[in-house]
Amino acid sequence: MENIQHKHVEVRGLKLHVAEIGSGPKAVVFLHGFPEIWYTWRHQMVAMAKRSYRAIAIDFRGYGLSEQPAEPEKDTFIDLVHDIVALLDSLAINKTFLIGKDFGALPAYLVAALHPDRVTGVVTLGVPFMLPGPSAIQNHLLPEGFYISRWQEPGRAEADFGRFDVKTVIRNIYILFSRSEIPIAAPDQEIMDLFDPATPLPPGFSEEDLDVYASLYEKSGFRYPLRVPYRTLAVDCGITDPKVSAPSLLIVGEKDYVLKFPGMEDYIRTGAVKHFVPDLEITFIEEGSHFVHEQLAEKMNQLILTFLDKHAI
């Protein structure tokens, strides 16, 4: 696609899949969420490269074409942080912009907080600064059928997903996450039961795109994604009162279901998030969904490029 090059880079004993396009001293590293993969950034990568940025998107360890760690159940978000820094070293990148979507926002901000000399700026989509730990997501304020609570329960998502092929699971989750309501199952339902097979794919995501997503998850499976982010989200990462000094941009779709998590909208709109990220711009996209970067690719590209050009060194 548009001359995107692919390779594997040895990072902390694992080979991580790296997609790259563009050249020059200004680097941008894209960090995906779930159920996404490097490919989710296809539109942004091409746009950044055309503006003379070196655009890099990875599959996190355990995802897609990257290798699985030997013991996934021992990993936490800090492993992703260490991977990103080691990847920058391997690619001879001294400083970069980090762009994170969904759970990819967490390691983006943590790298910026722990290694400020390596980060020019941070852009996150849908998810503000959050510190992994017991209070990261307040599951107890939502019904028992809250999808994160269900997926944190050992074996439950495995059994739920196992009733379907990988492509169907990705289709179901993508459509559920495209809605403006938090996915919550009834006591006698599983999360996959919330899906209506008659529902079409949302704008910006084609059957061909679904095929790419599915082929990559067929390679990796769901063992690691269920560990990171879901089953490690409440694990304290040992960081107290972190600060992100880099200029940052948070883009939030007003139809993103994450905005309805308990306390989330107030945390963002009141500016409380700026306790952790003082130099933060916040932009709301009225029609934006959880997948706003695919749904409204050109608009997002322009917003991101305006921020990058403003802060590029």
Catalytic residue list contains 290:
yes
251-270, pLDDT tens digit by residue? 999 999 999 999 999 999 99
**How far from 44 is each of 59, 67, 118, 239, 284, CA to CA, in Å?**
16, 25, 21, 31, 18
Our CA angle for 117, 137, 271, nearest 5°, is 60
Q: Report the chain's mean pLDDT, rounded to a whole number.
A: 97
* pLDDT value, residue 296: 98
* Choice among 79, 230, 257, 293 that is catalytic: 230
Catalytic residue list contains 230:
yes
* pLDDT value, residue 1: 60
* Choice among 32, 43, 290, 293 that is catalytic: 290
* pLDDT value, residue 135: 86
CB 58 within 8 A of CB 19: yes
* pLDDT value, residue 113: 98
- Does the pLDDT at position 2 exceed 80? no
> What is the average per-residue pLDDT within 240-246?
95
* Choice among 75, 102, 160, 256 that is catalytic: 102
79-128, pLDDT tens digit by residue? 999 999 999 999 999 999 999 999 999 999 999 999 999 999 999 999 99
Q: Mark out the alpha helices in 61-198 (DSSP H runs).
A: 77-90, 105-114, 147-152, 156-161, 166-178
- Does the pLDDT at position 241 exceed 80? yes
- Does the pLDDT at position 24 exceed 90? no
pLDDT band at residue 197 using 50, 70 and 90 as cut-offs: confident
Q: What domains are defined for the chain?
A: 5-311 (3.40.50.1820)
0.85 surpassed by pTM:
yes
CB 46 within 8 A of CB 58: no
> What is the average per-residue pLDDT within 146-167?
98
* pLDDT value, residue 258: 98
Catalytic residue list contains 53:
no
